[in-house]
Amino acid sequence: MLMLKKNIEYINDYLLQGHKNEDTPPWLNYLIDAEEIHQNYENITSIKELSTHSVIKYVQRTLQILEELKRPFLSEEMYWQLATVLSYCEVAKGGTAEQRNKWVEKGYNIFVHNEGSADIFLHDYTGYDKPLLYELIKTHGLLGQCLRGESRLITHRGLVKVFKNYYSTMEAKKMLLHLNHCVIGGVSNELWLKLQGDIEASIDRMFHKQDNQDEFESRVDKLTSSFQETYQEKMELIDGQGSDKVKIFLADKDLWYVEPSMHDFSFVDFWTILVMASEDLKKFSVRHINFEKLMQQLHYDYQGAKHNNIYRKRIIEKYLNEFRINRRPDTTHVNFNIEINESLQIAFVSFEFSAVGESLIQFCVEAEKVDMMHSRATVLLFDFFGLRRDAYDRFHNESTYLAHMNSAADDKRIILDYIKGDTILDVGPGGGVLLDMLEKETVNKEIIGIDLSENVIESLKKKKKEKAYSWDVIKGMP
C-alpha cells in the first residue's frame, strides 16, 4: 500500500536538513523563499526574534496539533483536507520579492494574507474539494479576529454555503472547531483554552442566518478590550463624536493589526484615528484597513526586548489632540497617512514624518544607549515637535523610576497617620503604592492621584483596571 508523505513530514525534513529536496511541495517552497517579514508583533518579546523561519515553525505547530487530533476526532478525508488548508494558510507571507510582485500583478491580495493565500492555493490545487478548501483558507483565523472585533462574522457566509456541498452541519462545525484549534493553538495552547468556548459559540452563530450581524457598539468595545476605559466610558466618549459616520464606515470593513498597533493609546486617540480614516476614505471602495505599518512604526527593541516607541507615540498624540480641538493639526513635520490600493480594496494606515523629524526620532532611540546623550536628544525632539520640555515624561527609564517609587512603601506608610477629611489627593503618585495603601487602610474616602506624566497616568489606569481599584487618577497639577 502506497503511503503518502504527510505535510508535517515535509516541514520536519526541511528544518532538520536545512535545504529543499526534489519533492518539496509548492506551499513549503513559498515559505522557504520568503525574503520579507510580515508577522504580528503582539505575542513576541523581541522584534529581533522574528525571522522568515518563524512562519514555517508556526505552520509546523499547527500541523502537529492536527496530528494529535487525527486519531480520535477526524476522518481520513477531513485530516488531509485540514492538512492542506493549514499548509497553505500562511503562504502569502512567503515568496521572493519577485514572486510577491507577480502575485500582486495577478490581483492576489497578499497584504491580507488570508485572501492572498487562498488565491495562491486556487492556482496550485486541482482537487474536487477545491471550493471548500479555498473558503477555509480564505477565512482561517477570522473567528478569533471576530472575537476581537477586527473581523465580521458575515465574512464566513460563503464558507457556510459551500460546506453544504460536502458535509452535514454537524460535520462542518466539527471541522471548523478543529481547524481553529490548530490555528489558535499554534500561537499558544493557553490562548486556545481561553477562547475555545467563544469559538464554539461563534461557529454555532455562523450557521444561523439571523445571527450573523455584529452590533456596532459591541464591536468597538471588542476592538479596544485591552484599553483602560469601561464599556460605558467608551460609549459616552463616542456619543456625538462622529459615531454615525464611523458606524457606516466599519459596517463593511475588516481591520488588521489593530491591537499590536493601538494598544498603548487611549481610547479617545484610537477613536480619533477611526474618525480621520472614515473621512479620508469616504469616496473609496475599501474592504480592509491595515495597521501593519503603524505597528512597525510604534515598536523597536531596547536592551533586547520589544518596546513601544514613546517618541512617535507622544508626537502622534499631540497631532490627534490638535485634530480634536480644531480639525487643523500642525502637519509641518507629521501627518496622518493613508495609502490606498483600490484594485485590492485595501487601505494602509500610518503616520508620515518629515525627514528631519524621522531622523530626530531615530536619534533618540539610539541615544538611549548613552544617558547623557539621551537627555540632549529628547530636548531636541521636544523643541522640534512643540512638545512640553521638562522632566515629567521619562522615556526609556520609566520602568526603573516606577520600580524605585514602589520600593518606598514603608516610608510612605507613616503618611496614613496624618490623613484628614473625606477626599485624599496624592500628588505625584508614581507607581501607586500610596494609592493602594489608602484604599486598603481607609474607609469611605475619595482617593485621587494626580500627575503630569502621561506615562504615570497610563500605567496607573492600567493597574486600576486590572486590579479593580476604586481610586482614580487624573492628569494635571493640583
Mean pLDDT by 10 residues, the chain (478 residues): 79 92 93 86 82 90 94 89 97 94 94 95 95 96 93 92 95 96 95 96 85 79 87 87 89 93 90 95 93 94 85 92 92 95 95 94 84 75 73 50 56 72 85 84 87 77 83 80
Residue 67 is placed in which grid cell?
496530528
Q: Which domain holds residue 371?
A: 217-396
Give this prediction's pTM.
Answer: 0.81
Q: Domain check: are 305 and 189 in the same one?
A: no
Residue 364 is placed in which grid cell?
533618540
Helices (H) and strands (E) in the chain, counts: 24, 9
Q: Domain check: are 40 and 86 in the same one?
A: yes
Residue 151: strand, helix, or coil: coil
Q: Domain check: are 131 and 68 in the same one?
A: yes
The total domain count for the chain is 3
Q: Domain check: are 297 and 382 in the same one?
A: yes
CA 42 to CA 407: how far, in whole Å?
30
Sole residue written with cell 512603601? 409
Residue 66 is placed in which grid cell?
492536527
Residue where one domain finishes, among candidates 170, 193, 214: 214
pLDDT value of residue 391: 44
Q: For CA atoms 141, 143, 149, 152, give the dihedral sign.
A: positive
Is 446 within a domain?
A: yes
Q: Domain check: are 183 and 199 in the same one?
A: yes
Q: Domain check: are 246 and 322 in the same one?
A: yes
Residue where one domain finishes, among candidates 182, 214, 246: 214
Q: Domain check: are 150 and 239 in the same one?
A: no
Q: Domain check: are 160 and 260 in the same one?
A: no
Residue where one domain finishes, among candidates 373, 396, 419: 396
Q: Domain check: are 131 and 210 in the same one?
A: yes
Is 266 within a domain?
A: yes
Please classify residue 472 by burial: count the beta carbons closer than 10 Å to its beta carbon, then call 0-12 exposed, 13-18 middle and 19+ buried: middle
pLDDT value of residue 371: 66
pLDDT value of residue 412: 67
Tally of residues, the chain:
478
Q: Domain check: are 173 and 223 in the same one?
A: no
Residue 16 is placed in which grid cell?
532538520
State residue 290 phi and psi, 5-degree precision.
Answer: -110, 125
pLDDT value of residue 411: 61
Q: Domain check: are 263 and 131 in the same one?
A: no
Residue 174 is placed in which grid cell?
466539527
Residue type, 230: T
pLDDT value of residue 263: 86
Q: Domain check: are 345 and 198 in the same one?
A: no
